[in-house]
Amino acid sequence: MTSGSAQKDSKMVEKFIRFLDSVYLACIWISGAALFTMTIVIPWGVLNRYVFGAGSDWPEPMAILCMVLFTFIGAAASYRAGAHIAVTMFTDRVPASWRTPLMWIVDILMALLALFIMIWGAQLCIGTWHQSVAEFPVLSVGFTYLPLPIGSALTLLFIIERMIAGPQTGRAVVQFDHDQTNVAADLKGEI
């Protein structure tokens, strides 16, 4: 491989990582909006039922839809940030020389799981597309299941990124205590 080719590959990987920085931020905002909506909708339902004595039938299904969105889109962002649940008891006790191959195995298994959920989630969406949600007749059941294949596809992108470029947990955009100027610079590729 020539140095020009390696440099071109490096630039492509960096562009891919910067693109995924934007995807990651979109995942965070979408998940945050779903969580915020849940925190508004649930008290509204409780207030209507117990204070005004007139229960609404839409807050609970709306909260469930928001939870599905929050869970699957948020899980993708969580994977990239390294904030997902991981059992490291075994990998922490093996020799250091085993850790890299074990991480590759974990990444491959995660990719297979994400692919499985993406394919079967899409099948679920297709199979239920023409059914409507009882509380929201204009809303397709298949549409409400879209976070499964979409969240899994996003997770798969983040897994591929991890396999190509390593963990991205140190990037400014992923850090919880980051400085906004570092995030902007990171997204522009200046860091």
Residue ranges making up the domain that contains 171: 6-188
Helix locations, 47-172, DSSP H: 59-81, 96-128, 141-144, 147-165
Please work out, in degrees rounded to the nearest 5, the angle formed at the alpha carbon of residue 74 by the alpha carbons of 10 and 123: 90
Number of domains in the chain: 1
Residue 168, in any domain of the structure = yes
pLDDT tens, 154-163?
999 999 999 9
Residue 87, in any domain of the structure = yes
Residue 122, in any domain of the structure = yes
pLDDT tens, 49-103?
888 888 788 888 999 999 999 999 999 999 998 887 776 777 778 888 888 888 8
Question: Average per-residue pLDDT in the chain?
Answer: 87
d(C-alpha 167, C-alpha 58), whole Å? 41
Is the pLDDT score of 39 beyond 60?
Answer: yes
Residue 156, in any domain of the structure = yes
Residue 86, in any domain of the structure = yes
Residue 1, in any domain of the structure = no
